[in-house]
Amino acid sequence: MSLRLRLFKQRQRFAAAHFTIYDNSVERLHGHNYTVEATFHSDVKNLKGGLIVPFDVPKEALIKVCDSMHERVLLPTMSEHVKINKLGEQFEVHVEVGSVKKFYSFPSEDVVLVPCNNISTENMAVVVAAALTENLPDSITSSASMVSVTVSEGSGSEVTYDCAL
């Protein structure tokens, strides 16, 4: 018998700007109002004190991740098409995809460097899941076997990443 605990609080959201790279093209800089939810999966026999997880620990961890990206520009650090240089208090960003060449300059306080090759909803689900799971205490990872992290960039467009604990 399995149980699922779904956390989807109002504060688990962030607004951020980004561009996405497609085949020989790059989108214009634009933004989304992202929402994030996490579902913890457990077998009934693994419950600790009748709980899959205490709500407050993962809820606060998700809010912390969302707050860190809120009202920021998300930049991929692992893309062969994006070169990021920090000059003083600015990030200079050169994007080159096929014949498309773009240059941006952002105040460093407005930027989040994201460890991925492209800012897509798919990658954001993986990044948020990694940030969430790296700080979970052993008590949670011993009772829950998996967490599913869903990132939505708007109504009708979401990605869920299942991560073993």
pLDDT in tens, the chain (165 residues): 789 999 998 899 999 999 999 988 999 999 999 999 999 999 988 887 888 888 888 899 999 999 999 999 999 999 999 999 999 999 999 999 999 999 999 999 999 999 999 999 999 999 999 999 987 877 777 788 999 999 999 878 999 999 998
Which residue type does 20 have? T
Q: Which two tokens stand for residue 20?
A: 């996405």
CA distances from 114 to 126, 158, 164 (A): 11, 19, 22
